[in-house]
Structure 1
Amino acid sequence: MKILGSSKVDQKTMLEFARNVNPNFPEILPGLYIEIGRIYGVRGDAAFSQMLKETSFHRFGGDVKPGQFNYAGLGAIGGTQGASFKNEREGVTAHIQHLYAYASKEPLPAGEKLVDPRFNLV
Structure 2
Amino acid sequence: MKKLCLSICLLGLTLFSSCDLAQAQDFKAKAVMISNQNLTILGENLATPEQAVRLIKTVNPKPLLTCSVEELVEHYFQEAQKEGIRGDVALSQALLETGFFRYGGSVDYRQNNFCGLGSTGKNVGGARFTDAKLGVRAHIQHLLVYSSKKAPSENVVDPRFETVKKIPRLYASAKTWHDLDGRWAMSRPYGSKILDIHSRMLAIPVSPTQKSVAQKKVAASKEKTENKNIKARIQAILKNEK
- Please give the range of the TM-score, normalised by the shorter of the 2 chains: over 0.9
Name the larger-Rg structure. 2
Give percent identity, aligned residues only: 43
Aligned with residue 106 of structure 2, among 53, 56, 63: 63
CA displacement 1:29-81 (0-9 Å, x = unmatched)? 11111111000100001100000011110111001000000001001021200
Corresponding residue for residue 17 of structure 1: 55
- 2:121 aligned with 1:83: no
Corresponding residue for residue 9 of structure 2: none
CA distance in 2, matches of 1:121, 1:48: 23
Aligned with residue 97 of structure 1, among 141, 154, 171: 141
CA distance in 2, matches of 1:53, 1:33: 15
Corresponding residue for residue 42 of structure 1: 85
Aligned with residue 114 of structure 1, among 141, 145, 156: 156
Partners of 1:63 and 1:77 within 8 A in 2 = no
User: Could you say what the CA RMSD is over the residues aligned between the two structures, in angstroms?
Assistant: 0.9
Higher helix share: 2
CA displacement 1:69-113 (0-9 Å, x = unmatched)? 00010010212000000100000000000000011101122xx11
Give ranges in structure 2 of 5+ residues lacking alignment: 1-38, 64-68, 165-242
Shift of 1:24: 2.1
CA distance in 2, matches of 1:39, 1:30: 15
CA distance in 2, matches of 1:10, 1:46: 11
Q: Following TM superposition, where does structure 1 have runs of at least 4 consecutive aligned residues deviating by more than 4 angstroms?
A: none
Give ranges in structure 1 of 5+ residues lacking alignment: none
Structure 1 counterpart SS, 2:129 = coil
Corresponding residue for residue 31 of structure 1: 74
Q: How many residues align?
A: 120
